[in-house]
A and B are shown apart, each in its own frame.
Chain A
């Protein structure tokens, strides 16, 4: 019989599980039911965080203490290894968060196991089959492994977050022998609240392309106007901002174009592949390297001057052949009026 362990961790409050962890719990509950397997949930951080998943009826394990307050390879890998050994897990499910992605492969190696990441779907009856993407979301594959333990890191947003009645959980504390720590986490560097343009929980992704900084019909570049239109739109809608590589690179080359863009905004082949219900692309060609980052965007619209752009060839649901400067100015006006 398979023994499933769901590895989780607490959020920045230190007292609650992350949303991605709760999604992994749902996956664990579902897979355990399909395989008639046992289920254990382990947490790095406060044992009290497991109250939220007490309703699963799973065995609950925790690694707690000052050393585990920091997301760091040496301590987190030791914690995960201890949890896996305590659970005697054959299948380990974990959320693909930066914290667990940093260590899961190393832990799999320590346990003589194997790992597959970016899992978007799981099914199992006789054998577990996991779906993931290759070539930056351009080829989809279903994989299976006989070797155990098998670690599966789940992409965020692929399962609903577990919701059950919270109860006081009976949690077993797991002891960890830590190696000497050579790394200290000194904090998180984030843009000021009003300057943060990457919003993973936003309903909509707004993507800007290099066209925003090209010469306009009057023969001039209007990067300042473009910046204002874009930031106003983000302020009014709470959208998350993405960008094509070419536009971000212009900023890196010292050209004062859209100063609020960084490589972290980049969507596509060499950027992120976020999940949002809707996406609006502006001044971007919609060629394959851009669009691979749109794989998990539900409803897609684009504004482009080029009727033959990539978006019009089956990559967007609606393409408006128009000047994005004019359209976005009007959109902002309407949104302002609606807000008032």
Chain B
């Protein structure tokens, strides 16, 4: 039990990447058209963090994983039906708005308040996991802000690997510029790790894990506290889709030799 960890994973829900997104502006500010009916998934980089958390907990007896997720209860329930079958965790749900437009500082405040209130959480053993960026706001600041609010000053972003040592310290690999990793050694928990892709494949669905998780997920959803996110003076001047349509030239009847010649000329042109 020397290295028993309490791992809290912050993960939101995001529209399935294959969906077409269209911004709309309502009385509460910008959002996505039909956002509540778009199929949703667990935020991909945060999901990497969840799988890494579960693997780390499995290797270190006495460890526990909580998944803290903020979103509309109905959407959370929908996504959890799938996520629950992947790995073992205890859900801590917060009933709040969906999407990337609410202010990150407000989101962080709600998450930090919720984490502090988790029964049985030992903050000296805490590893706070999440994605280094979300697929919605994509700012890469929420986890860092939660860490600051919890007084954690060992933070790592763009993490692809953590290796826990016997003495509780760990080596961590963070992405830096140019396809490289910075290697650091941290004395141990508490720490914040914002995950990139990591090294683990998505776990296969396991109905038994799903059944076990659902026993705690449904009560967690029922008692999810509502959260209102303040704008903190953030004002949207304009929200729009990019002009992405290009006038594509589709070349169907050119030989490989001619295509190659055209490509080489194109590459050499300024």
Interface residues of A (CB under 8 A from B): 71-74, 77, 97-99, 101-106, 108-110, 114-118, 129, 133-147, 179, 182-191, 196-200, 204, 237, 249, 252-253, 263-266, 269-271, 278, 280, 287-289, 292, 295, 299-301, 303, 307, 311-323, 326-331, 333-335, 338
Q: Which of A129, A134, A327 lies in contact with B137, CB distance below 8 A? A: A134
- Which of A108, A182, A252, A321 has the largest number of chain B CB atoms within 10 A? A182
Kindly state the separation between the CA atoms of A271 and B185 in the bound complex, as whole angstroms.
26
Residues of chain B with a CB closer than 8 A to A252's CB? 199, 201
B153 touches A77 (CB 8 A): yes
B196 touches A185 (CB 8 A): no
Kindly state the separation between the CA atoms of A74 and B261 in the bound complex, as whole angstroms.
53
How many Å from the CB of A94 to the closest CB on chain B? 12
Give the number of A-B contacts (CB < 8 Å).
Answer: 273
In the complex formed, the residue of A with least CB distance to B252 is A321
Residues of chain B with a CB closer than 8 A to A187's CB? 182-183
In the complex formed, the residue of A with least CB distance to B137 is A134
Q: How many chain B residues touch the partner (CB < 8 A)? A: 89
How many Å from the CB of A201 to the closest CB on chain B? 9
Residues of chain A with a CB closer than 8 A to B180's CB? 188-190
Residues of chain A with a CB closer than 8 A to B266's CB? 278, 299, 301
* Interface mask (B234-248 → A, CB under 8 Å = 1, otherwise 0): 111111111011111
How many Å from the CB of B153 to the closest CB on chain A? 5
Binds A, one of B76-84, B89-97, B115-123, B141-149: B141-149
Q: Which of B140-191 contact A (CB under 8 A)?
A: 140-142, 144-145, 147-149, 153-158, 160, 171, 173-188
B100 touches A135 (CB 8 A): yes
Q: Which of B104, B145, B158, B182 lies in contact with A185, CB distance below 8 A? A: B182
The B interface is mostly helix, strand or loop, or mixed, namely mixed
Q: Which of A134, A186, A315, A330 lies in contact with B256, CB distance below 8 A? A: A330
Kindly state the separation between the CA atoms of A269 and B187 in the bound complex, as whole angstroms.
34
B240 touches A98 (CB 8 A): no
- Which of B15, B160, B173, B179 has the largest number of chain A CB atoms within 10 A? B179
How many Å from the CB of B39 to the closest CB on chain A? 14
Q: Which of B104, B140, B153, B246 lies in contact with A300, CB distance below 8 A? A: B246
Q: Which of A97, A197, A327 lies in contact with B179, CB distance below 8 A? A: A197
Does B263 lie at the interface of the complex (its beta carbon under 8 Å from any beta carbon of A)?
yes
Kindly state the separation between the CA atoms of A103 and B245 in the bound complex, as whole angstroms.
37
